[in-house]
Structure formats: structure tokens, C-alpha cells
Amino acid sequence: MVATLFIDGTWRAASDGAAHEVRSPHDQSLVATVSQATQADVLDAIGAARASFDSGIFTSWSFKARSELVSKIADLLERDTDVIARKESDDTGKRFIEAQYDVADVVSTFRHFAALGAKEHGRSVDVGIAHVSSRIVHEPLGVASLIGPWNYPLLQIAWKVAPALVAGCSFIVKPSELTPQSAIALMKIIEEAGTPKGVANLILGPGSVVGTSLISDPRVDLVSFTGGLTTGQTIIRAAAETVKKLALELGGKNPHIIFADADIDAAIDNAVTAAFLHSGQVCSAGTRLIVERSIHDRVVNEIVRRAAKISLGGPDDEMAETGPLISQAHLNNVSAYVQRGIAEGATLLVGGKRSDKPEHAKGWYYLPTVLDNCQGKMYCVQEESFGPVMTVEVFDSEAEAIAIGNDTVFGLSGGVWSGDAAKAARVASALRHGTIWVNDFGPYRPAAEWGGYKQSGIGRELGEHGLGEYLEIKHIWTNNAPSRSGWFKDQ
């Protein structure tokens, strides 16, 4: 019987013995068999997290001590980089070298929060009364449900787990059922590092089975979720009854604006990467290209030429530049998305179909795709495909570029390319998105906050605010010379 659930400090099988097979998106080979939790298992995990938090076993640790724990976890993750990267590569189908980069980013995330936790927390407030002490203190929020996506499984979980540990929260991790192996590896490291029993718990299984209690149970104080808008809206509704704190990153349809005065060669190269890295399975992917009309042909023709030459392949294909989509269902969704765009009037310039190479026959490979002549209200412009599909729109003025870039319900990220620094700054300021890259696209650092405007989510991860999501703020007023208030007459 498979025992890959971690509840109250113990590795165990699902209460009904159920298990789930994880298969590679590259060739459908079996890469792991893991436990599939029941509702009873979820309730046990919540109970363990609640009990550990209420006991004070971890909240009694100082910020410094918890930061040292997180630093030790970073060291262990670095030690096991290749082992964890292999698991992530197997689950996602991404190239092994990309998975190694991802684990390095995970290590950096833990080191960032370890350093942040070691800083002074809280402050004194001068209330103008000599005998009164007024302090603002930061305390652990409570029990958190941490729900991750399948595209960057360990990285997105790390953005939640590291600050939760530094803050002193207890938590339940729920990775995607498609990509569970790196979360299992992380939990083993958390255990090895000496985290108290019951603080960290791991539940595996589809959201339809295990998600409801993680969101609605009154013993859970915070839900942190990264994933799609529809699921995010469901979480908001389910969490409303108990007025939980929410931290949600719900994706985006990210504008990538290129002005005629930009470094065109650099802009084109970055546009290709922004749209087709990890086959577009990136929440911040720059798949909405918005290009000044006068350079449209030059930019788009070169992007099409390069897209057609992108080499697809599996985790260990040294010639591959990107990999497969995560599943057959997702491939079907991307294909339908492209066909709908064409039906609405977009012009297919390259791709638009599944790879027909024999070596890709068993995997979920979809060709890099460019749709031209797109208009703002098209489905393919307003909705994200989460696949390797770039849409192209044109503009004639700075104001029009801004209007197009903001014409979306999302607001996660965007890019601006221009040789005019003042213009680039104006556009960056005007775009309603959480991260804007100027003459670049895609880099991030753990010290900088990450999150979106509008329907791209609630709250922030990383930076200083990423820790703040897991803390309660308390004001303590102490009168060191107590006296009668004298407000009402003493009759």
C-alpha cells in the first residue's frame, strides 16, 4: 500500500487504500504511484494542523528560530536539487535543465524568507503620553491551506510554505494531482529539518475530492491558491461563510507591447521566449502581443519564422527547447481555443495543431502557434489558453497601446519595449498589472512582490508582503500609570 500522505508527523496511506498513477506528459510512461486521500484524511490533516497551532509548539518559536529552520530547509533542497528536479521533470514533462532552474529558484525563495524573518518585526507607536506604551506586533495567522498548480509545482508551493513556516503557521499542502512528486520530496525535507509534528501536512488528490474542506472548514484561517480564475471564484464563494483570509493568484492575459522605437531584435527574441517558454504554460506568459502598426510585418514575420523552428521534446532530449502540454484534456482545450480564434476571424500564421512527429506520438505536444489580425473582443484575446498560442494586435498611438493593454479582466503582468525611456515609464505606470517589465520580459526575484490587479487575484506573494499574508497584526496599548478615566460622574 502506498504511503505518501503526511499527516500529524506520520507518512500514511489513504484511509481507503486508494492510489493514483502519475504518468509523464512526454510519453505516458508511469512515473509514480501515490496515495489518493479521502475526505476523512483531509479532516485528519486539518485537525493535526489546528492542534499543533493551538498547542503553541511552533508559535512559541522566535522569528529567529523559525528563520533558521527555513534556512536549513534551503540547504537540504540545494543538496537534493537533481533528485527533486528529476521528479518535477517526470511529472510535468519539462526539460530536466528547466526543472533544475526551478529548484534553484525554490532554494532562493526559502533563503529570502529566512533572511526576512530574521529582521525586526513590529514597531512602537508614539501616542504622545509618556506613561503609555503602544506596540504593533506580528503574530502567526493560524492554519493555512496551501493549494498549488501543476505548471511550476514546487516553486509555487515554496512561495507559500516558506513564509508560512517563518510566520509560525501550521498548514496543509495540496499540490496538483498531476504533479505531486516534488511536494512529497519537500515534505520529507521539512520533516528532516526538524519541523514540529503536525505543523506541516500533505494531502494528495483531485480538488473535486479533497478541496472542499480545505477551503470551507472553519478550523482553516487562510486559503492560499494558485490556479485558474473559475476555481478561484469557487474558493471565494466557499470561504465566505467563515470569512477566511484569502491569497489568490488566478492567472492573466498578459500584454506585451512593442513600440517602433524599441530594440526590435531584442524585443522579438524576448517575445518568442515570453510566449513559448514551457509551451506557454506560465501564468505570466506574454501571449498577447501588441505591436505598433508600422513594424507589424517585420516583427510578426520574424516571430513566425522562429516559432516554426522551435524544437519540441521530452525531459532528456538535449535538442529540445520546450516540452509537452500537461495532459490530453489540456491539449484538447488549447486546440479548441485556437479553432475558436480562427472562427472569430483570426489568421493562423503558424502551428495550430498537434505535433505529428513520430517521437511525439505518445505525448501531448502542441506546436507553437501565432494568430494574427486579432481584435480586442475575441475570445482568444480576452481569455488565456495556458498554451503556446500568441495573439497579435496592432496600435497606432501610445494612448491606444495603453487602452489595449488594459482591456482585460486580468492584471497579472505585462511588458513594454521602447527606446524612449520617458514613454516607457508612462506606459508602465498606466498599465493596470501587478508586474511590468520594461525592455525585458519574465524575470522575477523573491525580494519583489508578485501578484495581480483585478481578476488576477487577491494579495501578494514574495517580497515583504508575501510574509505579511501569513501574519496577524495586533496593537497592544499598555498604560504604565493606570488611573480612573473620570468620564462618567461617580454618584
Query: Where in the sequence numbering do the catalytic residues fall?
Result: 249, 283
Residues in contact with 367: Cβ distance below 8 Å, sequence separation at least 6, in sequence order: 312, 350, 351, 352, 353, 354, 355, 388
Q: Which helix (H) or strand (E) holds 424?
A: helix 421-430
Provide the greatest CA pair distance for the chain: 96
Pairing of strands 222-226, 132-140: unpaired
CA atoms within 13 Å, Cβ hemisphere of 384: 30
Amino acid at 322: T
With cell 493549494, the residue in question is: 147
Listed residue (74, 91, 71, 279) closest to 182, CA to CA: 91
- The C-alpha cell at 31 is 512515473
Positive or negative, the CA dihedral 12, 15, 18, 21 is negative
Pairwise CA distance, residues 228 & 361, whole Å: 28
Listed residue (249, 19, 55) closest to 156, CA to CA: 249
Q: Which helix (H) or strand (E) holds 248?
A: strand 245-249
User: 24-33 burial, b if ≥16 CB within 10 A, otherwise e?
Assistant: bbbbeeebbe
DSSP 3-state of 1: coil
Nearest 5 degrees, angle CA 329-CA 332-CA 334?
110
- The C-alpha cell at 4 is 505518501
With cell 526539460, the residue in question is: 95
Helices (H), 33-180: 39-55, 63-79, 81-92, 96-117, 153-167
Pairwise CA distance, residues 293 & 480, whole Å: 70
From residue 233, give the alpha-carbon distance in Å to each of 145, 172, 227, 236: 16, 21, 11, 5
